């Protein structure tokens, strides 16, 4: 009885930790997104914000344009210039190791010229641009390892966020719950449960 209560208490605390606050659930174009914002040292002495977003019914994630710039340790204008200059091929070099949800729905019609994939933005409104996670990874990787002036901040964030997949990283940040939607499998919660079991030496059935 005591053992069962301990396990139940642990699970309840973890469930509470995964529950997003009301102010962290926002709606764009009729679609709900989970949002997480945290302070981040862009460079020595300068603190700004990283904002992560996850579409609540699909688990697809992204970062705001400014957050990607902050995470890479570059100015917003510098990132905007990069996005204008890079060809479509640059963005096609994306990693798809983001779990079963990595979808690169690129549609190239005839000889239409564009510098970005059709699915580049997860959210695009007059108020905010949120870049899809797989393209966030591509930009981080560029500034971390390929740019003429490689950015330590970009490398640090790239290493930290892609260890288990950037999308999983953002889902954890935004407290995404796969049980909330039937469109998403339950692998993330299952993995978390297994981690708790292993760390405590318990096995749940």
Residues 17-59: pLDDT tens digits? 456 566 689 999 999 999 999 999 888 888 999 999 999 999 9
Helix/strand/coil for 161: helix
Of residues 106 and 168, more confidence is placed in 168
Helix/strand/coil for 101: coil
Query: What is the end-to-end Cα distance of the chain in Å, rounded?
Result: 15
Nearest to 50 by CA among 76, 34, 71: 71
Q: Kindly give the residue spans of alpha helices, DSSP state H, lying in 65-176.
A: 65-72, 76-85, 88-92, 133-141, 152-162, 166-173
Of residues 100 and 178, more confidence is placed in 178
Q: Would 108 be classed as within a structural domain?
A: yes
Residue with tokens 């393209």: 135
Nearest to 174 by CA among 61, 57, 72: 61
Q: Mean pLDDT highest for which of 90-99, 153-162, 189-198? A: 153-162
The pLDDT assigned to 115 comes to 72
CB 79 within 8 A of CB 65: yes
pLDDT value at 67 more than 70 = yes
The pLDDT assigned to 45 comes to 82
Q: Would 118 be classed as within a structural domain?
A: yes
Q: Would 199 be classed as within a structural domain?
A: no
Q: Would 130 be classed as within a structural domain?
A: yes
Helices 133-141 and 152-162: crossing angle, nearest 10°?
A: 140
Q: Would 79 be classed as within a structural domain?
A: yes
Q: Per the structure, how many domains does the chain have?
A: 1
Of residues 101 and 48, more confidence is placed in 48
The pLDDT assigned to 104 comes to 43
Q: Would 189 be classed as within a structural domain?
A: no
Q: Would 124 be classed as within a structural domain?
A: yes
pLDDT value at 109 more than 50 = no
The pLDDT assigned to 201 comes to 44
Q: Would 185 be classed as within a structural domain?
A: no
List of long-range contacts for 191-199, beta carbons under 8 Å, 24+ apart:
192/14, 196/10, 196/11, 196/14
pTM (predicted TM-score): 0.71
CB 27 within 8 A of CB 33: yes
The pLDDT assigned to 116 comes to 86
Parent domain of 91:
20-176
């Amino acid at each position: 009885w005591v053992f069962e209560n301990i396990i139940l208490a642990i699970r309840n605390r973890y469930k509470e930790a995964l529950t997003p606050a009301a102010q962290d659930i926002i709606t764009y174009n009729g679609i709900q997104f989970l949002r997480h914002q945290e302070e981040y040292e862009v460079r020595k002495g300068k603190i700004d914000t990283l904002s992560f977003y996850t579409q609540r019914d699909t688990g697809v994630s992204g970062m705001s344009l400014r957050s990607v710039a902050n995470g890479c340790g570059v100015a917003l204008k510098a990132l905007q210039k990069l996005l204008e200059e890079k060809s479509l091929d640059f963005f096609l070099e994306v990693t798809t190791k983001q779990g079963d949800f990595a979808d690169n729905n690129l549609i190239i019609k005839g000889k239409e010229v564009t510098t970005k994939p059709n699915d580049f933005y997860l959210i695009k409104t007059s108020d905010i641009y949120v870049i899809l996670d797989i393209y966030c990874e591509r930009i981080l990787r560029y500034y971390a390892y390929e740019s003429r002036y490689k950015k330590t901040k970009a490398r640090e964030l790239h290493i930290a966020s892609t260890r288990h997949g950037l999308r999983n990283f953002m889902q954890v940040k935004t407290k995404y719950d796969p049980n909330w939607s039937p469109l998403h499998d339950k692998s993330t919660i299952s993995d978390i449960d297994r981690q708790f079991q292993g760390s405590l030496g318990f096995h749940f059935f």
